[in-house]
Amino acid sequence: MAWIFTTRLFLLPFLLGASIPALAQSESRELSPLQLEEKFQQAYTIIEERYIERVQTGKLLISGITEMLRAAGLSNLKYSDVVPPTHPRGSRKDNFEAFRLAIQAIRVKSGAKVDLDTLVSGMIRGMVSELDDGYSSYLEPEKNRELVKYLKGETESFGGVGVLIEFKDGVCKVVHPLPDTPAYRAGIRPGDVVLEVDGHPVRNQDEAVDRMKGDPGTRVAVTIRRPDIPDPLTYELVRQTILHPEMERILLTEDVGYVRLNSFNENSAKGLAENLHFLSGMGMKKCILDLRRNSGGLLKAAVEVSEIFLPKGSLVTETRGRVSSDSRKYRTQGDSGFTQIPLVVLVDENTASAAEIVTGAIRDNRRGKAVGMTTFGKGTVQEVIPLDDESALKLTVAKYYTPSGICINSTGIKPDYTVKVDPLKVMNPALYEEPSKVDRAALAEDLQLKKALELLGVTLPLVGS
């Protein structure tokens, strides 16, 4: 069983649908040498058959063996030093044999000081790196377990620095620091580029996530580049427990409910329905769904959330991959009590993947208006495919399309009403907990939220402001 998801934005440790693989809570089981070779073959075959683009398997082999050499402390050697130059490559049989030859040579040259598990893990990491795809990676067993917990909605807090990041075109950029966190207090700003963490260059999204997360109370050095400052800045931060609720809601006015959805996991649709029913009981007759800074998550959750607002049988999205199992249409399966409620969706340049699926579904089915900025444009689907020792491959296997047949990858979704706002004035009114405590002057300064209210018949400043 495997997870299918669409996340692109990462809140440390990560923000990231199909079904949930059952993962044991114990340490990963130890594999025999034969099983480890089978694990390599399994990973190789999955990449060869399922990755969204056809790959040159010879390059996979060379990159994998190069990473094995590095893992063994033999970075001074190259592929031809451990595999005879005359050995053919390209076919599955030849590449498997080259792997065996490399393993034997590495163990001899390293004095058998490196274990086979380390070599095989290095081989798989190297093959994935050859894809040059920032969304594909090899997940060690513990990291895979953490991801499953997160996607199940079992992780509401973690140890980190409290920064929301995006990784695009080889650059790790800060979207925004969460209030009252180490990154926020230190002065890290939206738009800062993360160059290094503890002196290690950031090469992909997983490295950034792994190095910045950690136990509360531990220290981490984050080096950034700021557009208006010539020299890099290094911040010494002390990690703390970061709380990031999945969903927040408030009755904004007499009849307008506001729900902010921060991610898409196994519990998102159920939680959204419960919150909408709560607000309905308080008098909600119109709704604002805030998907700004929402990085996405489970494809399954995106379909289920869309189902709350769309009539039965509505097309939510379509995926297209290299194999037939990765190509299908997703339609709503039932009707909720909110398929007619006037609806406005708030989006920005950090609204991505699963959040874009929901936005596209609502717009293309003419169920609501989108307000804000053109979304991020992350239109690929990843599947987490378990390997034999509870590690996994996170692999891009398809692209998704909106109901109108548009793939928004790299282009995003342009809202019905383009409204720019100062990032420092973006409001989350749910933080006020009670309608009577909402700062209406601040509410009016969030021009995107103000426009959404106007579309629903509410003009700011509100009565009583």
Tens of pLDDT, residue by residue over 146-164, are 777 767 666 556 788 988 8
Mean pLDDT of 169-194: 86
- Told to judge if 129 belongs to the known catalytic residues of this protein, a careful annotator would answer no
Tens of pLDDT, residue by residue over 216-230, are 999 999 999 998 899
Tens of pLDDT, residue by residue over 28-45, are 567 888 999 999 999 999
pLDDT level of residue 12 (50, 70, 90 thresholds): very low
CA distance 124 to 356: 31
Which of 121, 306, 353, 391 is catalytic? The answer is: 353
DSSP code for 22: -
Q: Is the peptide bond before 182 cis (omega within 30 degrees of 0)?
A: no
Buried b / exposed e over 66-87, threshold 16 CB at 10 Å, is: bbbbebbebeebebebbbeeee
CA distance 373 to 436: 29
Which of 133, 192, 348, 364 is catalytic? The answer is: 364
Mean pLDDT of 329-357: 94
Mean pLDDT of 140-151: 80
Query: What percent of the chain lies above the pLDDT cut of 70?
Result: 91
Q: What is the pLDDT of residue 13?
A: 28
Q: Which residues contact 94 (CB under 8 A, 6 or more apart)?
A: 87, 88
Q: Where are the domains of the chain?
A: 3-143, 157-243, 247-379+399-455
Asked if 298 and 316 touch (Cβ cutoff 8 Å), the reply is no
HSE at residue 402, side-chain half, CA atoms within 13 A, is 24
Tens of pLDDT, residue by residue over 247-278, are 999 999 999 999 999 889 889 999 999 999 99
Domain range 157-243, CATH architecture: Roll (2.30)
Helix (H, G, I), strand (E, B) or coil at 173: strand
Helix (H, G, I), strand (E, B) or coil at 204: coil
DSSP for 109-161, written as a single string: HTTT-S-HHHHHHHHHHHHHHHT--TT-EEE-HHHHHHHHHHHTT---EEEE-
CA distance 45 to 222: 37
Tens of pLDDT, residue by residue over 387-436, are 988 899 999 999 999 999 999 999 999 999 999 998 878 888 988 878 88
- pLDDT at position 22 over 60: no
Q: What is the pLDDT of residue 31?
A: 81
How many residues in total does the chain contain?
Answer: 465
Residue 222 carries which side chain, given as an amino acid letter?
V
- Told to judge if 364 belongs to the known catalytic residues of this protein, a careful annotator would answer yes
- pLDDT at position 86 over 80: yes
Which of 300, 378, 394, 451 is catalytic? The answer is: 378
- pLDDT at position 2 over 60: no
Tens of pLDDT, residue by residue over 271-299, are 999 999 999 999 999 999 999 989 888 99
Q: What is the pLDDT of residue 389?
A: 86
CA distance 372 to 354: 17
For the question of whether the overall pTM of this predicted structure is more than 0.75, the answer is yes
- Told to judge if 353 belongs to the known catalytic residues of this protein, a careful annotator would answer yes
113 or 355, which is more confident?
355
Mean pLDDT of 126-140: 93
CA distances to 53, 124, 135, 163, 175 from 49, rounded to whole Å, are: 9, 15, 17, 36, 35
Looking at CATH, the fold of the domain delimited by 247-379+399-455 is given as 2-enoyl-CoA Hydratase; Chain A, domain 1 (3.90.226)
Residue 43 carries which side chain, given as an amino acid letter?
A
92-109 helix and 116-130 helix, angle to the nearest 10 degrees: 130
CA distance 163 to 174: 7
Mean pLDDT of 232-246: 88
- pLDDT at position 465 over 80: no
Q: What is the pLDDT of residue 424?
A: 77
Helix (H, G, I), strand (E, B) or coil at 464: coil
pLDDT level of residue 464 (50, 70, 90 thresholds): very low
